[in-house]
Amino acid sequence: MTAGFNTVSMGTGRKEFNPKKARPGLEHYFKEAGQGSIKQINDAENVDEISIGNFMAARFNKQANLPGFAAYIDDKLQWKPSISVEGACGSGGLSLMYGIRSVLAETADVVLSMGIEVQNTVKAIYGADILAGAGWFQKRKNGHAYFFPGQFSDRAGAYYEKVGMDKARAGMKQWFINSIENARLDPTAQEYQNQVPDLGALYDKFKPNGAAFVDNLTVLDCSKVSDGASSILICSEEGLEKLGINKSDAVEVMGFGHVVRNITNDPEDLTELQTIKKAAHKALEDAGITINQVGTIETHDCFSIAGVLATEALGLAPDGGGADYVAAGNTARNGAMPMNTTGGLIGWGHPTGGTGVHQAVTIWQQLTGKAGKAQIKISDDRPYGMTINMGGDDVTVVSIVYKKP
């Protein structure tokens, strides 16, 4: 993968965002993100296929048939195969998987993989109803008004019972602090302009209150409603040669896991992200490495509890030990396993269909030394990066392992 690009993650938290003023639509993000990658190769002619990850443009934007926007990005993409894929918040990961499989099938040497979502088109409560489509909608009438915060509030509540509320929230608090501090280093992040001096004190001011929001989470535990898009090129070795790109500017895809559970079933254990566990371990096995050889991870922290539980699913922490692992600073940018180094979903933002591609762009930046102020040290004995993109409540998960050039 090479030539990654992110638009700004737009929403509350950005100074230029104003809910009462007109904002860019899908067309703007398609062109900006697509051109962002194409300008790095100078010519769109060498792109063989286009894959687009998107969740709910048909409802947020009343726009379907997204493959038709490929040629809007560049005239030279006219008449080329273009497809859109959907797996809720995991749609970006599916876009990457389409590109990887096309290259492996030798039907393409260069695939432009994109992820895009424009969500700030409706009030939050209506948006919650749209986003509930990431779960089994039959359960909507019995769920919380804010459906997905309600789902992960239940997970947090079960975790409180398992390890104790104070211990759990200490880990969730540190996850929030890490997210905002990392986002402040990436100019495209939604929380880039966050200047709160004491993030820990801010977190402590907010207490879970079911009468105001959900029982076991506060708004600081939640990812943002975001507008944005990301793009990256997935290439064969021949494709890199066509583009004139040196391997030192690309990351090698070493393995992947794509796992989906039955959406009509409740999770077997609310304190376990079983699908993430299976997908991540498949990816590691495919790559022929262990988690201890990975230098940095981008995981799907739609809620802080998801970040904590992911450390256990990945085997970084024992069952019930994720909160302590995070609270001890292990997932911070200078910790034992740096995670979400540009802020993740809580800090960078969560344009749902775009998140998986954004994760890949972040790993590409980190492994090739292009992350700017957000750059961390990637050691030669841990040259791998990993992404975990989750759709719904641990339903559709794509995990990919990448290697430093």
Structure confidence at residue 399 (pLDDT): 99
Cβ burial, residue 77 (10 Å; 0-12/13-18/19+): buried
Listed as ranges, residues in the chain with pLDDT below 50 are: none
pLDDT at 249: 97
Region(s) of the chain under CATH 3.40.47.10: 2-122+225-249, 142-220+250-403
- The fold adopted by the segment(s) 142-220+250-403 is Peroxisomal Thiolase; Chain A, domain 1 (3.40.47)
- Residue 48: predicted pLDDT: 98
Largest separation between any pair of C-alpha atoms in the chain = 59
The Cα 327–Cα 317 span in angstroms is: 12
pLDDT for the residue numbered 142: 86
Are 304 and 172 contacting, i.e. CB atoms less than 8 angstroms apart? yes
pLDDT value for 42: 86
Architecture per CATH, domain 2-122+225-249, reads as 3-Layer(aba) Sandwich (3.40)
The pLDDT of residue 161 is 98
Catalogue the long-range contacts made by 71-77 (C-beta closer than 8 Å, 24 or more residues apart). 72/27, 72/30, 72/31, 73/30, 73/31, 73/34, 73/35, 73/38, 73/44, 74/34, 74/35, 74/38, 74/44, 76/43, 76/44, 76/45, 76/47, 77/34, 77/44, 77/47, 77/50, 77/112
Look up tokens 């989470």; give the residue: 217
Quote the pLDDT of residue 401.
Answer: 99
List Cβ neighbours of 104 (8 Å cut-off, separation of 6 or more): none
Q: Give me the pLDDT at residue 141, please.
A: 85
